[in-house]
Structure 1
Amino acid sequence: RGVYPVALAHLLLGEPEFVHVTGSLGKTGVDADAGLLMTWPGGVRAFAETSLIGTLPTNAGITGTDGRIDIAAPFHAARSLTVRKHPDAEEVRIDDAPKQALAAELREVRDRVRQGATESPVMPLDATLAVMRILDDARTALGATPCPA
């Protein structure tokens, strides 16, 4: 779950200007839990959290000046979302959503490998590396040993 909220924020907003991290490391040095407050110019912000020691919700929400989008859990394979345009709310069903959380990702990888591609337009290499830099920097801020490049 740790990578998905950060990837969603990056997909929607790009590279954050600042990332504030709070959390703790387990006895083995693994990040046991973490909260990331990411900010962009203009006061735009996103919060992502992950935990190996507690249970967290797996839904997502996007709030703007005119309303909110609530994405059902698990948000990375949601079957529905609710669009709440102030003051109304409308539920939108996603009929072709995968029933298994990783099914769409695995199909995408399979299709790209069959085509001989080295990356996917759904999640290009540059986006993957940017998200991983955010996560690696967050782990380092918590005191974890940096992952090898």
Structure 2
Amino acid sequence: MSLVLPKSTLLNPSTAPALNWGILGPGWIAEQFAISLNTLTKSRIAAVGSRSLERSAKFARTHGDDDTRAYDSYDQVLSDPTVDVLYIAVPHSGHAELALKAIAAGKHVLVEKPMTLNAEQTRQVITAARSTGVFVMEAMWSRLLPIGNVIAQVLQSRLLGDVLAVNADFGAKFAVDPRSRIYDPALGGGALLDVGIYPIAFSAMVSSAKELLHASGRMAETGVDATFTAVLANQDGSTTSVFSSIETDSPQAAWIAGTEATLEVERPIFAGSRLVLRHHDGSIADSQKFSEHSAATGLGWEAAHVARCIGEGLLESPVMPLDESLAIAQTMDQIAGELRKRN
């Protein structure tokens, strides 16, 4: 087999059906989502909700149109008949409650990652979604970018041969502030849920985890995990090494080593800037650069994917299925449990 990287098969986001989005939690990530949505797709922001009417109104003025509604509660967005689909962008601790409320209201839902704080909450959301018959997806935007599409093609084609090992890391240094979302356990803070989910989800795209072999790390004074390393045994026989931290900046890269070739994902892992395919001797067989390596340039691809799924009548994404979100949550629960035992 020739060692050549495939091209992305994704359609331009502007060709996806237009949806009316409701935003729950007009913070930084919601702003990036709105910028990308407005730039790349034909969809619009129909309603914005938060606990502050002032914040909602400012977001609506900045990212909406003349008909965008601003509310001082989440429930008002849930009951707005103009809203087709909701983007839940509140802190992690609020994901499960709002997702369940949105599902009960009959709204389609895109939940910012992690879907919830743990596997049990994720299972509850999935059960509710499947019983109600609405579309629900965890917002793992890495999968839905052109680079994610190319990686998926490489894996499906077995271009790498049998996968032997995966390595993925995401460390980003955050200011130590006990009042911040990152360091607050009540808000789902810590490396695992905020940044560690990316390398864990990357590994899950290669092969689902079978067993947690090792997890160790450091805890912050607030009680959240600050830095950790984990080793997974996967269903395909490969092993994965994961590193994540909120205390230091790491290469934020990943690689997949196979019997025929190795694939490298260059920084940042959540939206890689370049793929490099290497021969066994380390020489480059092929490479591709990608431009969607910021939230403002990339989240519109995720919104377009949701719109296509809903337009096709799908209740979950074939690229980021609900069972995989549950499996990732279970792996993170196991890592969290091991870190608590060791600290």
What TM bracket, shorter-length normalisation? 0.7 to 0.9
Q: Which moved more, 1:1-10 or 1:42-51?
A: 42-51
Distance 1:143 1:110 in 2: 40
- 1:46 matched to 2:240: yes
When residues 110 and 64 of structure 1 are mapped into structure 2, their CA distance, relative to the original with a 3 A threshold, is same
Equivalent residue number for residue 62 of structure 1: 256
> In the alignment, which residue of structure 2 is the partner of 1:127?
324
The amino acid that maps onto 1:69 is: L
Quote the Cα distance in structure 1 between the aligned partners of 2:205 and 2:277. Answer: 19
> How many angstroms apart in 2 are the aligned matches of 1:52 and 1:78?
19
1:73 pairs with 2:267:
yes
**CA 1:61–1:113: 2 relative to 1, 3 Å:** same
Count of residue pairs the alignment pairs up: 143
Letter in 2 for 1:142: L
Contact 2:212/2:334 (<8 A) preserved: no
Instruction: After superposition, give the CA deviation of every residue in 1:60-111 in whole Å (9 maximum; x if it has no partner).
Output: 111122331111111331232111112331232155x524245233443455
SS of the residue 1:136 aligns to: helix
Matched, 1:92 2:287: yes
Residue 334 of structure 2 corresponds to residue 137 of structure 1: yes
Describe the shift of the 1:45–1:12 C-alpha distance in structure 2 as closer, same or farther (beyond 3 A): same
The SS at the match of 1:130 is: helix
Measure, in 2, the Cα distance between the counterparts of 1:91 and 1:83.
Answer: 5
Moved more, 7-16 or 122-131: 7-16
Structure 2 unaligned regions, length at least 5 = 1-194
Match of 2:211?
Answer: 17
Q: Indicate whether 1:27 and 2:221 are aligned.
A: yes
Distance 1:113 1:29, change over 3 A: farther
Q: Deviations 1:110-148 (Å, cap 9, x if unpaired)?
A: 55466665421111000001001101111121118xxxx
User: Structure 2-normalised TM-score?
Assistant: 0.38
Q: CA deviation at 1:43?
A: 5.6
Flag the 1:99–1:55 CA change in 2: closer, same or farther, 3 A.
closer
Taking structure 1 as reference, are residues 105 and 13 closer, same or farther at Cα in structure 2, changes over 3 Å only?
Answer: same
Mapped contact 1:80–1:91 kept (Cα < 8 A)? no
Aligned equivalent of 2:131: none
Q: Percent identity?
A: 28
Structure 2: distance between partners of 1:31 and 1:91: 38
One-letter code of the match for 2:336? R
Which sits farther off after the overlay, 84-93 or 120-129? 84-93
Distance 2:238 2:251 in 1: 22
Equivalent residue letter for 1:38:
L
Q: 58-67 or 46-55, which moves further after superposition?
A: 58-67
Q: TM-score normalized by structure 1?
A: 0.80
